[in-house]
Structure 1
């Protein structure tokens, strides 16, 4: 029971990580715009990678605006969130392989990695939306990638933006319910 109390505290004080998800919406919206451009796929992939550099400062700014405490230094699990986020970087060799060997598929790999990396946050924040939305994001992106067959790739990041917004709304509802019970 004590562990659930700690996880719910993370959920409430960190607002289920919504600041980071809102930053992801901005980044993936930028990526959508990049993939709308009439430029070579290699350039799109480079710009896509560069856009991710905005993630952390943007997430910090948004977290400050919405008054979400993402550090949670007094919570024994507080630093785990940072490790879970850094774990996504471990998957970047797959993305780099795709950029080199299959440039048209790199956006699909990146979107699947992004969606899938949310799964452990279900445990971290004691929030069911992460458990459900992470596999939905990954599977929807995979099928969309199979359907698109290398054309209209802008639909991949746009779809991820939409799914992220759904996750944010659901996580906000989860956060509000936990806040009201406190």
Structure 2
């Protein structure tokens, strides 16, 4: 297979990572719940926010089974590139850890920007307009919204973005499957 065929193969088998985006809807709902709780200490809320982001991968794994997407297409050499793109986000979490101490009221905003920005290379990998557009839209919009509004609003906007993103990916996946069967 040539490079484009490998990209299409990965996108088709993994349904363009839809399972991770659906899992992120659940994660952002959990973050919203944390910020709606009557907890006065902001450091407790930010720590809980970190804790509630950790089940992303197990949730995505379960969702991949439900939607019949390959969780990891190991036989495709580009799968390792997708993992590298994801691991890159772990390095950015160091920024969020600093924000936890320096400006805890902005940590949800920073997490959302990191999440949005890390989507960009997947636009190329999956040949997906949805990833490319949402990476920029999330990062820029959340930066502006997060400066003006509190973490509850940021979380609500992220849930909305993730739902729109999920629907867009479902459409892209269906179109990709139509092309594969024709």
SS at match of 2:176: helix
CA RMSD of aligned residues (A): 1.2
Summarize deviations over 1:8-66 as a string: whole Å, max 9, x none.
11111100100011111101100001011121211110000111121111110111111
Residues 71 and 79, structure 1, Cα contact 8 Å, conserved in 2: no
User: How far off its partner does 1:71 sit?
Assistant: 1.2
Aligned partners of 1:60 and 1:80: how far apart in 2?
Answer: 18
Aligned partners of 2:101 and 2:35: how far apart in 1?
Answer: 17
Matched residue, 2:119: 118
Matched residue, 2:172: 174
Aligned partners of 1:10 and 1:120: how far apart in 2?
Answer: 14
Q: Normalising to structure 2: TM-score of the pair? A: 0.95
Q: Which runs of 5+ in 1 are unaligned?
A: none
Q: Which runs of 5+ in 2 are unaligned?
A: none
Q: Normalising to structure 1: TM-score of the pair? A: 0.95
Matched residue, 2:155: 157
Matched residue, 2:106: 105
Matched residue, 1:18: 18
Aligned partners of 2:154 and 2:91: how far apart in 1?
Answer: 22
| Residues paired across the two proteins, number | 179
User: How far off its partner does 1:70 sit?
Assistant: 2.5
Q: Is residue 1 of structure 2 the alignment partner of residue 4 of structure 1?
A: no
Matched residue, 1:33: 33
Aligned partners of 1:101 and 1:124: how far apart in 2?
Answer: 35
